[in-house]
Structure 1
């Protein structure tokens, strides 16, 4: 496994999608408000972290590869704070476009006694206009022309940065250059990712995207849905994350369910980001889809042991893999 992780170090991963800032208010609850039947949080700490596609970038970085983000943020103060977080983390902001027409997405989580009590989203989910999409596409192509790209991740949160036009143009260019494409989808563009290498919905997204009721307890239900999806997208691999059941992986080489490892779950926020980042690096490093799914499954479980969105620890993952394999 150490050889595999060493191969991560030379990889460049292009991440296209919705970036956001995760803001946290940490505190304690001692009483109920006299104004309404709601708890009063006494705030002890405030914290901002990189979220969305930027958290995928942090996971890629934590595993030793170089992430390059292409996305849009606002010209607001939250956008300024986001760029400061990028700089502090040593991430390049050359692929970011600032727009007056939309705010920087901020998700504020209120956490009392290590439990999330409330989330406040400040955002727009309007799709980019055609000229804005063209500007973002130009930025993507500019980065692809400047340096070697080993994999492209579409990190779609349905906030509007990714459009059908952007998907088709980037996937077409990636195929021309023989670059693998990996997708973490949401509902809006679900069936627009034609011809990608790996498509990774969770179970809820699979049901919503195909408009079918997938019952994991019913024999053949999940497999039937995955075959349907793979045929519609013409993708090489389908990987469905199943929470406590693990992950399901299907390709031309077969299919299997890889069970989850038993853990003390504190927070599932950001687990999908870790799974997609880990899977992308494994595939880019030449690993087969089944080992890729097993390693990504393990990585996603590890970050669930922490409260809030955190990136994977390369050392911890390596230690766990040595025990598991």
Structure 2
């Protein structure tokens, strides 16, 4: 979710769900510790609970980055051992670390020793020619022995040679059953499942089966209301903050005003709102109205109001 789940995206998702744990896009430990890019730690206090996702493979550097994350106020620090992108591979972190479970365990131990908040791991079921039936249980065992208690498993292998990052999200087959068996084999682990989960019904199904958590990525981005709109009520038995995507769109207006006052541009916020009405009458006109106007100089909240009005007009004409 690099370049996607920035603080404006997370603010939108927090408006829709008060309960879901939100994750940042992956931030490299080197950017924070050696690059001084502390601006990457910025987030809105309204986002809590929110986790900082780190990428790296140097235990001492990851420990320092974790301390910086805790100091910035994050509720959890997550080490990504699942991202298959080219720049992640060249930096010797991400999914390639599935080949070095002892190093991952060492990195985890160093990070957890450095902070008081939970440190978690996100991984794949294996990479390249590894056999997930052997690799994943060994990986989880080593993490457990290092003291790790929370793991998110993306239920696909990552092919680091031969597939692009985009293809790695779709082509390797999903193996949900293996993740289910890992929960049975490691009952003390808080085990969450990830990968190809595209509906709130599927989320609830996994929870009913005994998985401890479900991570939803791209579906929550492209269809935020469909995934999160009823999540608080169905998963946590808590009231939904808003009753419609229209209410959420208008609730974003104060955040947009603040961002513009601080010198930002409208499209930096509204690009995350394009899927808010996915599958609903007028959704295409909503997307087009925002896409065409939000990049223009001096564009402001009135663009969102105009897009809502246009969408409603189209929807009423279709009735």
> Which of the five TM-score ranges fits, normalised by the shorter chain?
0.3 to 0.5
TM-score (norm 1): 0.32
TM-score (norm 2): 0.33
- Name the structure where helix makes up a greater proportion of residues: 2
Q: Give the structure, 1 or 2, with the largest relative contact order (CA under 8 Å, sep 6 or more).
A: 1
- Name the structure where strand makes up a greater proportion of residues: 1
